[in-house]
Amino acid sequence: MMNQRSQQGATLIVVLIILLFMTIIGTLAIRQSLVSLNIATNGQAQQLMFENSDAALFKIEDPTQVENQLATNGMFAYFDSDDHKTDELVFCYKGANSTFFNLQNASVISSDGTTTKNGVAGYCQSTWFSTGRSAILTQVYLTQVASNSKPLANFTLGTSAGQSTNVSNTTKSISVTVISVLPSFSSASSSDIEDCFKKNKDEVGTCFGDLNIPYNVQRADYTVGAIPTLKTS
Which of 44-53, 66-75, 210-219 comes out lowest in average pLDDT? Answer: 66-75
Quote the pLDDT of residue 149.
47
pLDDT tens digits along 66-111: 777 888 788 988 998 889 999 999 999 998 888 899 989 999 999 9
Mean pLDDT rounded to a whole number for the chain: 80
Given a contact cutoff of 8 angstroms between Cβ atoms, the answer to whether 223 and 233 are in contact is no
d(CA 152, CA 160): 9
Which residues, 6 or more positions from 125, have their beta carbon under 8 angstroms from its beta carbon? Answer: 92, 190, 194
Given a contact cutoff of 8 angstroms between Cβ atoms, the answer to whether 30 and 36 are in contact is no
pLDDT tens digits along 148-177: 545 445 444 444 444 444 444 567 899 999
Quote the pLDDT of residue 25.
78
Quote the pLDDT of residue 164.
46
Given a contact cutoff of 8 angstroms between Cβ atoms, the answer to whether 139 and 123 are in contact is yes
Q: What is the pTM of this model?
A: 0.73
Report the candidate in 58, 71, 56 with the shortest Cα–Cα distance to residue 225.
Answer: 71
Res. 36: pLDDT tops 80: no
